[in-house]
Amino acid sequence: MGTADIRQATGGDLPAMVRSLGQEEYFSDRLALQDSGHGLLLVAWQEGVTDGGAGDVAVGDVYVWLAAAEEAELRAHLPHVALLTHLEVVAGRRNEGIGTELLRAAEHRLWDLGHKQVALGVGLDNRDAQRLYARLGYTEWPHGQVATTEVVYHPGGERELRPEICRIMVRQLDPERGGPWR
Ligand SMILES: CC(C)(COP(=O)(O)OP(=O)(O)OC[C@H]1O[C@@H](n2cnc3c(N)ncnc32)[C@H](O)[C@@H]1OP(=O)(O)O)[C@@H](O)C(=O)NCCC(=O)NCCS
């Protein structure tokens, strides 16, 4: 659909990101990790009206985890495979193709970095997101579900660790297998 401009975030983007996406602690943390080479924070922007007048509004994001996975099963079965994490689109802009654009932008970045596959974890109950990933060429791996820990950042800096059982879905990026091109 081509509705959003997707860019790798920089420190200067933080105030605008927090304005629409909240989660200041999370994004500060990810920007610091990005600076250390741990991953890439991609943000989708659309033109809109903000408190400061007309400008870009952050409408979604995905963090591409390039470092070794925290989960032993992922490190064992998919060593060195990047993970797409924390994909989200603001509530008022869902179902407009922005999530798809974020996924495709992340896949293109990974392809350019030499990756041949990509993976992600999705909560067992999140059928809507599972349907989206399946439509975009992701298939569930054959090694079973994985217990992950979601880190929830509360205002004030407190971190809550939330266990979540996930399906692991994988997509091949080889041109012969359809991707990462649309
Ligand atoms: C999942 C999500 C990022 C998709 O972004 P989007 O811009 O709405 O996606 P697109 O418009 O490209 O594609 C629409 C598809 O997303 C999925 N979707 C729509 N709303 C959703 C929601 N509230 N939660 C999860 N998935 C949703 C559906 O599969 C939908 O297609 P369909 O209903 O026609 O089959 C977005 O809905 C979201 O932020 N959801 C809440 C957070 C979340 O579940 N993130 C995924 C974690 S693994």
Least confident of 103-107, 135-139, 148-152: 148-152
Are 137 and 179 in contact by the 8 Å Cβ rule? The answer is: yes
Nearest to 174 by CA among 143, 141, 142, 137: 137
Helices and strands, number each (H, E), in the chain: 5, 8
State CA 1 to chain mean position distance: 19
DSSP H/E element including 6: strand 5-8
Q: Residue type at 92?
A: G
- The per-residue pLDDT for range 108-128, each reduced to its tens digit, is 999 999 999 999 999 999 999
Ligand 1 in reach of 117 Cβ (< 6 A): no
- The per-residue pLDDT for range 122-146, each reduced to its tens digit, is 999 999 999 999 999 999 999 999 9
Structural domain includes residue 32? yes
Are 22 and 90 in contact by the 8 Å Cβ rule? The answer is: no
Contacts with 172 (C-beta within 8 Å, 6 or more apart), sequence order = 116, 117, 137, 178, 179
Structural domain includes residue 73? yes
Tell which one of 61, 63, 64, 89 to mutate to probe ligand 1, the residue whose CB is within 8 A of the most ligand atoms: 89
- Domain of residue 146, CATH code: 3.40.630.30
- The domain total for the chain is 1
Ligand 1 in reach of 5 Cβ (< 6 A): no
**Measured distance CA(181)–CA(108) in Å, rounded:** 8
What is the pTM for the complete model shown?
Answer: 0.94
**Measured distance CA(136)–CA(118) in Å, rounded:** 12
Structural domain includes residue 118? yes
Ligand 1 in reach of 168 Cβ (< 6 A): no
Specify the pLDDT at position 2.
Answer: 55
Specify the pLDDT at position 157.
Answer: 75
Which residues constitute the domain of residue 133? 5-177
Ligand 1 in reach of 97 Cβ (< 6 A): yes
Structural domain includes residue 182? no
Least confident of 37-46, 53-62, 150-159, 167-176: 150-159
- The per-residue pLDDT for range 21-46, each reduced to its tens digit, is 999 999 999 999 999 999 999 999 99
Structural domain includes residue 94? yes
Structural domain includes residue 75? yes
**Measured distance CA(114)–CA(105) in Å, rounded:** 14
Ligand 1 in reach of 127 Cβ (< 6 A): no
Structural domain includes residue 62? yes
Task: Select, from the ranges 46-50, 55-59, 132-136, the one with the highest average predicted confidence (pLDDT).
Answer: 132-136
Q: Taking all residues of the chain, what is their mean pLDDT, rounded to a whole number?
A: 93
For residue 124, the cross-strand partners are none
Structural domain includes residue 87? yes
